[in-house]
Structure 1
C-alpha cells in the first residue's frame, strides 16, 4: 500500500468506524438527576419500590420520587387549565406577577429564549404561574403574554385561587413563596409584597422534578436548554 492509498484509506474508513462507535456506544449515556424523594409518613424514611432494570432485565429497589400534584387553574384566555394536559410532556415552570418590576421581566425574557429554542415542539410546554392571583386576572395575563410574544398553546400563563396556588408552589414545585402583606399590612409596594423564587423548574413526562435553574442567569438557562435536550434524548432512546 503506497502513501497515497494509505491516506485515502484513512480518509474513507476512519469516519465509518467513528460513526459505528458513536452508534454503538454513544447512545443512552445521558442522565439527569431526579429531585425530591417521597417520604413515608409513618416511618419518616425515603420510599423505595421495585423497578425493572432494562439493562440487566432484573428487578431492583429504587427511590420513589414525588410528582407534581394535580391542579386546575385559569389560563390567560379565562379557560380552565388542567394539569392532565401536561401528561406525557416535558415542561418548564416559572413564577411571576404582572406588576413585578424587578426580576419577573428578566425571568420572562429567559423563558422566551426557551420558547424560541423549542418553538412549537409538541413535547415541550412552558408554564408561568402568577403569585399575585387576585390582581392577575386572565386579561392581565393575556396582555403580559402578548408583551413576551408567547406562543398560544405552548406557553401558558396561569392564575387562580391563592389557596390553590401557594401550596402548589411551596409543596409541589418546592420553591419559596410568601405574601408579606399577611404579616405586615403597611407594605404596599407590590415588589416588596410578593416574595417568590427566581427559579425555573424542569419537570419530566412523569411529573418528577429534574432540575432547578436561576431564571435571571443566562448561563443557568443555557444549562436548562441543554438539559431539556438531554431529557428528550433519554426518552427517545428508551
Structure 2
C-alpha cells in the first residue's frame, strides 16, 4: 500500500475518534434554570479577588388552612418543588382558566410525590374552608397533592406582596391582589420560574422545567 493511501486511511479512521472525544468532552448539554426575585448583591473575597454574588429571595414560611381544614405550612410542600398561584373563588374568567392549567400540571405529575401545587386565595373573607372544599372538587384536586389555602387576610396579603412581590392594589390597607402568574418554587424555597397561567405554551414550559429541577436533584 502506498504511503499516501496509508495516510488517507489513517485520517478516515481518526475522524470518528476525534468526533467522539469532542462530543464526550464538550458536548454535554446543561440547561440551568434562572432564579428570580433577587434580594441583594454580596461581595466575597475569593483568592484575593472580590467577587459579587446575587443573593436571591427565599420564601418565608406560612401557615394557612387547606380545603380539608388541615393547617398547611411550607414544610408540607417542601422537599421537592411546588407550583403556586393566587386566585379567588368568585373570579369569573381568569381564575377558572388558570386553575384549569394547574389541573394539567397535577395530572402530568399525578404519580410524582415530589411535586405539589398550592393555590392561595386572595379573598379569604369569602373563601372559607367550606367554599374551598367545593372549589377544589371542581378541579379534581387530589388530597395531599393540590392545596387550596385560606387564612388571615393580612398574612395572605403580605405573602403575595412581600414574598412573591405581586403589585399591591391602590388604596389603603390590604386588598385583593390579582395575578395570573404561576410560580415554580424549588426545595430551597426560591422562585425558579414565572409563567403566564393563561397560556398553555407557558404551562408546557413550566412542566418541562419541573422535570429539569427534578433531574438536577437526582444527579447532584
Q: Which residue of 2 aligns with 1:189?
A: none
Equivalences for residues 83-102 of structure 1 within 5 A: 83-102=74-93
Q: Answer yes or no: is 1:117 the counterpart of 2:108.
A: yes
- Residue deviations 1:86-123, cap 9 Å, x none? 33220100110111111000000000010111113111
Q: Answer yes or no: is 1:173 the counterpart of 2:155.
A: no
In the alignment, structure 1 segments of 5+ residues that lack a partner are: 1-13, 40-45, 52-59, 184-192
Q: How far, CA to CA, are the matches of 1:195 and 1:175 in structure 2? A: 7
Partner of 1:178: helix, strand, or coil? coil
When residues 109 and 177 of structure 1 are mapped into structure 2, their CA distance, relative to the original with a 3 A threshold, is farther
Q: How far, CA to CA, are the matches of 2:24 and 2:104 in structure 1? A: 30
Given the two structures, how large is their TM-score scaled by the length of structure 2? 0.80
When residues 215 and 49 of structure 1 are mapped into structure 2, their CA distance, relative to the original with a 3 A threshold, is farther
Q: How far, CA to CA, are the matches of 2:66 and 2:44 in structure 1? A: 36
Q: Answer yes or no: is 1:204 the counterpart of 2:186.
A: yes
Q: Answer yes or no: is 1:30 the counterpart of 2:31.
A: yes
Q: Which residue of 2 aligns with 1:149?
A: 140
When residues 23 and 141 of structure 1 are mapped into structure 2, their CA distance, relative to the original with a 3 A threshold, is farther
When residues 50 and 230 of structure 1 are mapped into structure 2, their CA distance, relative to the original with a 3 A threshold, is farther
Using the TM superposition, give the Cα deviation of residue 70 of structure 1 relative to its aligned residue in structure 2, in angstroms: 0.9
Using the TM superposition, give the Cα deviation of residue 230 of structure 1 relative to its aligned residue in structure 2, in angstroms: 1.1
Using the TM superposition, give the Cα deviation of residue 180 of structure 1 relative to its aligned residue in structure 2, in angstroms: 6.8
Partner of 1:225: helix, strand, or coil? helix
Q: Is the CA contact 1:177–1:197 (under 8 Å) kept in the aligned structure 2?
A: no
2:210 to 228, 233, 238: 228
When residues 208 and 104 of structure 1 are mapped into structure 2, their CA distance, relative to the original with a 3 A threshold, is same
Using the TM superposition, give the Cα deviation of residue 61 of structure 1 relative to its aligned residue in structure 2, in angstroms: 5.8
State the Cα RMSD in Å: 2.7
Q: Is the CA contact 2:183–2:193 (under 8 Å) kept in the aligned structure 1?
A: yes
Q: Which residue of 1 aligns with 2:42?
A: 47
When residues 124 and 31 of structure 1 are mapped into structure 2, their CA distance, relative to the original with a 3 A threshold, is same
- Residue deviations 1:171-230, cap 9 Å, x none? 1112235387969xxxxxxxxx83501000111110011011010111111111111111
- What is the count of residue pairs matched by the alignment? 197
Using the TM superposition, give the Cα deviation of residue 24 of structure 1 relative to its aligned residue in structure 2, in angstroms: 9.2
Q: Which residue of 2 aligns with 1:107?
A: 98
Using the TM superposition, give the Cα deviation of residue 237 of structure 1 relative to its aligned residue in structure 2, in angstroms: 1.5
Q: Which residue of 1 aligns with 2:196?
A: 214
Given the two structures, how large is their TM-score scaled by the length of structure 1? 0.75
Partner of 2:195: helix, strand, or coil? strand
